[in-house]
Amino acid sequence: MSALPVAVVCAGCGAAAPEGDPLPVRCRHARPGDDIDHVMTVVLDPARLRFPGEAAANPFVRYRTLSYGYHLGRSRGLDDGAYVGLVRRLDRAIAGVDGRGFVVTPFGRQAALSDRLGFAADGGVWVKDETGNVSGSHKARHLMGLLVHLEVVAGVGGAPAVGELAIASCGNAALAAAVVARAGGRSLRVFVPTWAERPVVERLERLGARLEVCARDDGVPGDPTYHALRRALERGAFPFTCQGPDNGLTIEGGKTLGYEIVSDLRAAQGRLDRVMVQVGGGALASACVQAFEDAVRLGALARLPRLHAVQTAGGYPLKRAYDLVAGHAVARLVGDATAARAGANLAPRDLADRLAAPDARAAVEAALRHAATHRSAFMWPWEQEPRSVAHGILDDETYDWLAVTRGMLNSGGWPVVVDEPTLHEANELGRTATGIDADHTGTAGLAGLLALVRAGTVARDERVAVLFTGVRR
Ligand SMILES: [Zn+2]
């Protein structure tokens, strides 16, 4: 038996990080061109952990026993009180930089929004409001998780020194990284595109981040800022990012959002039928579905809500990957390619229900294993530069695609692609019906729900969660 109740395992090749590895951020078995989707993933031992019941307002205190860094610290002599003290000290520093620290964010049924969408009294739309979170979006959760981990490792010793932190982003992720890095007294390099907005650049500079502008080369597919980040990481920078493949531990902080929803559901003895998550790089959706999976494993949630990843018609590499994996699973299920094509012609809901059924489990798992070891056949950068009003989810590539695809297949969910009019309409509806001032990226999950409601997919008594992820700036 492992000494720690939390392991870190690569979801691509299956290799576990060595026991007590202080920085298991990337898979050490990854080789250039191996076409394996290496992502270090935190795995909880349900026999030795319970879902936290405590009421601490700071999510990094409340859910600490579900994080790798907590158990690593404990095993190296850091006691529980010292860990809590470390989190609270960092949180005060963040409040000093941003004017607010981390507090569990609101989650509740929005009556006017539920009425406008035609839900019955027993069903409705529950909104998780992240617009008041540190730096105005959920992104700070991912980065606070990383900072806490780095501080624990620095405190207990035994790890190589961590130099400059690095991230590629021009929006909420960069702003959050700059706030959190500043609070931790760490230097940060940010790779931004040529079209980064002036107010964002100025705020990053005021926070002390070192900016590097990256132009798109028409001959090279993929995001130029991401290419620049990868080069910096090869030179030794630490991935202070919101992409699981570059730093698997970034998913941990994001999971607090899903854990908070689980706590609220338990307190109200409520159920949740679906959750709509806007997807760019995919870290948020990966974190949410893993939080729900943890809760099921720990007996805190009866079953997974259907996960719907929402992308824009301007670029939807995740839907493309889901369709390919689903096709492989159907082919294995029925044993021939002709029937697989018939499966691909099923309505999304019928296909999702078929693949989430217990007798399809082995075929789906085999298809996911195949996808994990043939990455380039499932996920590649969108061919054109994606454009949408929801510019926060325009990643060329869904970096955390495999965990999100797995989550959709296992929960009976499926990806939803929304057009620009629906994104505009959802933003107007979301802001006026709830009073929450989210931007178009922030309400993109609601746009996905709007599309499902119009398609007649959602029953009136269903309970659906949407995440308003970022404030309008
Ligand atoms: Zn691996």
Ligand 1 midpoint to CA 38 (Å): 4
Convert the pLDDT of each residue in 184-196 to its tens digit: 999 999 999 998 8
Considering the chain, what percentage of its residues have pLDDT values greater than 70? 98
DSSP H helices, 184-249, are: 198-206, 224-234
Ligand 1 midpoint to CA 444 (Å): 32
> Which is it for strands 6-10 and 40-44: parallel, antiparallel or unpaired?
antiparallel
| Domain with 116 in it | 107-135+255-468
Question: 158 falls in which pLDDT band (50, 70, 90)?
Answer: confident
Report the alpha-carbon distance of residue 47 to residue 390 in Å, rounded. Answer: 42
With respect to residue 245, please indicate whether it lies within any of the assigned structural domains.
no
Let me know whether 125 and 59 are in one domain: no
Average pLDDT for 192-206: 93
Ligand 1 midpoint to CA 33 (Å): 13
Give the highest mean pLDDT range of 212-216, 315-319, 339-343. Answer: 315-319
pLDDT value of residue 338: 66
Ligand 1 midpoint to CA 67 (Å): 20
Q: For tokens 């049924």, what's the residue?
A: 109
Question: 254 falls in which pLDDT band (50, 70, 90)?
Answer: very high
Considering the chain, what percentage of its residues have pLDDT values greater than 90? 89
Ligand 1 midpoint to CA 386 (Å): 29
Let me know whether 327 and 224 are in one domain: no
Let me know whether 291 and 393 are in one domain: yes
pLDDT value of residue 291: 98
Let me know whether 419 and 457 are in one domain: yes
Ligand 1 midpoint to CA 11 (Å): 7
pLDDT value of residue 334: 84
With respect to residue 424, please indicate whether it lies within any of the assigned structural domains.
yes
**Interacting residues of 339 by C-beta distance below 8 A, sequence separation 6+:** 330, 331
Let me know whether 122 and 80 are in one domain: no
Ligand 1 midpoint to CA 372 (Å): 10
Ligand 1 midpoint to CA 7 (Å): 14
Convert the pLDDT of each residue in 446-465 to its tens digit: 999 999 999 999 999 999 99
Let me know whether 201 and 315 are in one domain: no
Convert the pLDDT of each residue in 376-410 to its tens digit: 999 999 998 889 999 999 999 999 999 999 999 99
pLDDT value of residue 312: 98
Ligand 1 midpoint to CA 34 (Å): 10
Label each residue of 345-374 as H, E or C.
Answer: CCCHHHHHHHHHCHHHHHHHHHHHHHHHCC
Among residues 204, 239, 274, the one where a domain terminates is 239
pLDDT value of residue 219: 80
Convert the pLDDT of each residue in 90-123 to its tens digit: 999 999 999 999 999 999 999 999 999 999 999 9
Let me know whether 173 and 130 are in one domain: no
With respect to residue 244, please indicate whether it lies within any of the assigned structural domains.
no
Let me know whether 275 and 347 are in one domain: yes
Q: What is the DSSP letter of 45?
A: -
Average pLDDT for 426-444: 98
Ligand 1 midpoint to CA 245 (Å): 10
Ligand 1 midpoint to CA 370 (Å): 14
Which H or E run contains 128?
A: strand 124-129
Ligand 1 midpoint to CA 311 (Å): 27
Let me know whether 269 and 141 are in one domain: no
Ligand 1 midpoint to CA 159 (Å): 21
Ligand 1 midpoint to CA 234 (Å): 17
With respect to residue 249, please indicate whether it lies within any of the assigned structural domains.
no
Number of domains present in the structure of the chain = 2
Q: What is the DSSP letter of 217?
A: P
Tell me the torsion sign for CA atoms 245, 247, 252, 254. Answer: negative
Let me know whether 262 and 141 are in one domain: no
Ligand 1 midpoint to CA 391 (Å): 31
Ligand 1 midpoint to CA 25 (Å): 11
pLDDT value of residue 340: 59
Stretch among 57-61, 309-313, 346-350, 411-415 having the lowest mean pLDDT: 346-350
Ligand 1 midpoint to CA 23 (Å): 15
Q: Is 105 left (phi over 0), alpha (psi -120 to 50) or beta?
A: beta
The CATH number of whichever domain residue 116 belongs to comes to: 3.40.50.1100
Ligand 1 midpoint to CA 37 (Å): 7
pLDDT value of residue 1: 47
Predicted TM-score of the model (pTM): 0.96
> Could you give the dihedral angle defined by the CA atoms of residues 311, 313, 319 and 321, in that order, rounded to the nearest 10 degrees?
-120
With respect to residue 473, please indicate whether it lies within any of the assigned structural domains.
no
Ligand 1 midpoint to CA 364 (Å): 20
Let me know whether 196 and 260 are in one domain: no
Ligand 1 midpoint to CA 17 (Å): 9
Quickly count: other Cβ atoms within 10 Å of residue 47's Cβ. Answer: 7
Ligand 1 midpoint to CA 309 (Å): 25
Question: 344 falls in which pLDDT band (50, 70, 90)?
Answer: low
Q: Give DSSP secondary structure letters for 164-194.
A: -EEEE-SSHHHHHHHHHHHHTT--EEEEEET
Ligand 1 midpoint to CA 32 (Å): 12
pLDDT value of residue 437: 98
With respect to residue 448, please indicate whether it lies within any of the assigned structural domains.
yes
Convert the pLDDT of each residue in 287-340 to its tens digit: 999 999 999 999 999 999 999 999 999 999 999 999 999 999 999 988 766 665
**412, 177, 124: which is closest to 292 by C-alpha?**
412
Ligand 1 midpoint to CA 246 (Å): 12
Let me know whether 216 and 293 are in one domain: no
Q: Please, what is the average pLDDT of the chain?
A: 95
With respect to residue 438, please indicate whether it lies within any of the assigned structural domains.
yes
Convert the pLDDT of each residue in 352-379 to its tens digit: 999 999 999 999 999 999 999 999 999 9
Ligand 1 midpoint to CA 13 (Å): 4
Ligand 1 midpoint to CA 31 (Å): 9
Ligand 1 midpoint to CA 106 (Å): 37
With respect to residue 199, please indicate whether it lies within any of the assigned structural domains.
yes
